[in-house]
Structure formats: C-alpha cells, structure tokens
Structure 1
Amino acid sequence: MNPRPDRFSRLLSLVPYFAKHNGIGIDQAARDLGITPKQLTKDLELLFVCGLPGYFPHQLIDLQFEHGYVDVIFTAGMDRPLRLTSTEAATMLVALHALLGMPGAVDHDAARRAIAKIEQAVGSSDTTLRSAVAQPDLDADNPTYATIRDAVTSRRALRIRYYSATRDDVGERVVDPIGLQTMDNHTYLEAWCRSSEGVRLFRFDRVDDARQLDEAAAPPPEAHAHSQSAVLSENPDLPSVEIEIDPDELWVLDYYLIEPLEPLEERADTGAPVHARLVYGSPDWLTRFLLGFGGRVRVVSDPSISSTVGSAAAAARARYT
C-alpha cells in the first residue's frame, strides 16, 4: 500500500528535522511534529529502508532510535540546502502571493521577506518570472487573525466568538489550537473544541473575536492523531455520519471529505471494512452518494439514513418492474 500524500510530505521533512535535533527523544519529536509516538516510530522504520539509488546498506538512511532517542548516522544527502530551479522558484512565489491574498493564512511581513529572498536568489534579471507572480497584496492584517496565529505559535488556549453559518448564530468557545489549514481561499484554525470535545476547524473570517487565555493549549493526545487527515471534514457547520467502506472501495478516501477512524496501515491486508467519518452537505446528496455504491459503503451511525437509502433503492428497483 502506497503512503498517503500527507505521510509522504512528513517523511521528506523528518531527516532534516532530526539532523537539526540530533539525540531528541521520540516523545518530544512527536509533539513537535504533531503526531503520535507510535506513528513516528512507524515513519522511522520506513525511512530506515530508504536511501540513494543502488540501495545497498551504505547508501540507506541510517537512524538509531531503539532506546527512545533518535540519532542520525547517515542522511543520504537529505540535509543539504535546497537549490531551486526557475520553475520551482516561480511555483513558490505564486504560492506565497496566493497566501498573501488569503485572510489570516500567514504573517504577511514574513511572507514578503521570503518573496524578496527567493527573487534575489533567482536574480532580478528574470523579468518573466517577476511579472508572472506580480499580484497586489490585498491584506490589511486583522488583529483577530494575528491573535489566532500567535496562539498557534505560542501554544496558548483561545476564547473565540464564532459565527456558525448553518445555525445562523454566534457562540463562544474555548479551544486548544493545533495548527492552521488553508483550502478554497479560506484559512481555518484547527483546534480541540472543549465544548464539542472534538477536533474542529474554524474559518478565520467567521471568528468575530479571539482572546488568548492565560493557560497553555492542552489538546488531548488523541486530538493530534485525529488531525492527521487535515481535511475540512472538521468544519463545525457541516453534519457528518460514521460509515463502513468495503476494501475494494477505499479509493473514495482520495476524492471525498472522508476521514478514516482507524490507521489504514494496520488494516491493509485484513480484508475487513474500514470505519470512517463522512461529511455531507445535505441528506439528498448523502442518499445519492450511498446508492451509487450498492451497499459497499454504508452508514452505521444513523438508522434513519440507512432506512432512507433502502427505501430509495427499493423505489428505483420498482421502476424496472
């Protein structure tokens, strides 16, 4: 089974991280990286068999972590400074300018400094590259956004006033920040919501007010493991159901807002259905979605939805008789 994209990105960053923090404990590293010690150990075991072409023992990444601390013996060149081609630099500049136009996504002064450094590195004579990424900076940084970003960085709890679009009301929540997510030109705070007792995503432009509390953010350990999917399935404005997915239909995880509720690596060869959480926009859409799988994807948390799907399937069959 191939690694999921989020894990692949994490694996690429692990060697430079441990080269910089040689000798760090696995528990501390897991907290820094936002994953569980169990998942980090699995990642290290996978890195242990990666390396340079040829893949002989002396060409593989060498990490020692048997005693709870990680020591880097051989990095296979993954700690060397990154050198960007013009195409890669243009891609990064376009992405940075896009983030500048996304409310609250980044510290705009830091982003502008990064843009200046990349432009200097590729050379001021490359006017084509400069004109390709020349976009206006639309940000007048909102103090609320800055408070949220600072709370994520300093790991402080937040009290927020949040507008829920589906309930059309504003309520107060105390949350423990985990990180930031961006999607569809919006920035979201990923946090453990103490009132909901779960990980949620809060859209920046729906936060009326944010105040840091005089206490450290303390999301429970399961919150970090839960946040690995990093998808908008945690939007508190949308309903969700628990589903079972037969092994032949696991491709849906790559195309819909579906979050596995169990590690996929541990169930790759069992043949058992995978339990997951599906976010949906309306009951009609959910019914059509489930009908398309003929029972191979099914709801297990809401009998009324299962009954609706069964009635719709019976009505469809009746049309053919």
Structure 2
Amino acid sequence: PTEATAVIVALRALRNGARPDTREVVDRALAKLEAAAAAGSAAPRIDPGADGGDPDTALLATRLQDAADRGRQVDLTYYVPSRDEESVRTVDPRGVVSTGGVAYLDAWCHLAGAPRLFRLDRIREAVVSESPVVTDPEPPRDLAEGMFARSGGTTPVTLRLDPPARWVVEYYPVEEVRPQSDGGVEVDLLVADPRWLTRLLLRLTPHARVVDPDGAHPEFTQTYTAAARSTLGLYT
C-alpha cells in the first residue's frame, strides 16, 4: 500500500501536464493502482512534498474521473460550510476540473436539478454505483478563465441576501461575495435565464432582493414582483 500510494501521487503530478494520449494511459494505471491501494486495510499516508497535493484528494479525483469516463452515477456526502451540515445527493459526473489550485467535480446534481461544481476537499464520502448516468453526457466545463466566465448569454446580477439566505453562496455559482454588517451578504452572479432567478427569489422570500442602484435591470425586480403577486393570489 505504501508503494502504491507513492506511485499514485507521482502519477497524479505527471497527469497534470500530460498530453491527452499520455493522460489516457495514466488514468488507466491510476484506476488499477487505486483499486490495489483500497484493498489494503490500513494504507499508510506519505508526505508527497510541497507540490504533491493531498494523496486522499488525488485518489478521490481518480475514482470520480473513472466514474465519469464509465458513465456511472456517484452518491456523494457533501459538506456545506455555510449551513455547517452535510447533504447526501446522487450526481451524474462529467469530470474532474481544477482552478486556482482547487479541484472540483463537475456533475449534474439530481437533488438540485442542475449542474454543480463540488469541491473535492468537501466531499466526505463518494460511492460509485453501477447505475448508469441518466442525463445526456457532456464534457466538464472549461475553467481556464476561472469558475464563472462570462458569456454573451448571461447577465450580471447583484443580490442582497439576509443571513437565512446565505446558503445560496455555497449552493449556486457566484462571482463575488461581500459580507454585510448585519451578517448578510451581497453576491454577484451571472444569470442566463431570468425565469431561474425569479424561481430562486420566490424560494428566498423575504430574505433576498435584487440590488440595482443604477436601474440597469428593472425587469428582474418587475418579473419577480409579478410572480410573487400571482402566487399570493392563489391563497386569497
């Protein structure tokens, strides 16, 4: 187990800068070594060095990438810091990606009903099942320009979130978070579909609102207000 772990860490380092054809060979070797290491009842930790990364995270990344390559669902136990709780969810993995030195699993989350990025260091447990993914296969997103690259089809929106709604920061991709004196936050996020924003605001009522000091996007507030009145009308 000690030798297997050492080789796994070395291969992970090699994989980061490898060409696609070499990476395919490395991935096959990693999958076999991971299985061998897992068979040991007490595989010891080793110090991979300052640039070697965490061996446990490297092993997890290998397993998750293998699940994505084979089209198998994964059951995740995931820690959400903003709520200080763990959630259990089933995902269709698309691949392991990284940015800023942090590795993420890009996957379709069946609990959220949408694609999500899961930090590997917050995954408490990952069980690869034999159930095939049920969503259309897609490649993992490209994080070369950062996690939340802008596109022509998205609109930047700022939300003011009261403390009960702070969970949005961990649950949805946001560009920037600015803490407020009352414990709430202002968050900047990119919206591709105004209907999604309206549904989110309805869920967060009364603890969220659109911040639009320049009056650049009055349609978001207007659409939400109309939807809220319509919903309220169902109860009167």
The TM-score range, normalised by the shorter chain, is 0.3 to 0.5
Name which structure has the greater RCO, CA cutoff 8 Å, separation 6+: 2
Structure with the largest fraction of strand = 2
Structure with the largest fraction of helix = 1
TM-score (norm 1): 0.36
The structure with the largest alpha-carbon Rg is 1
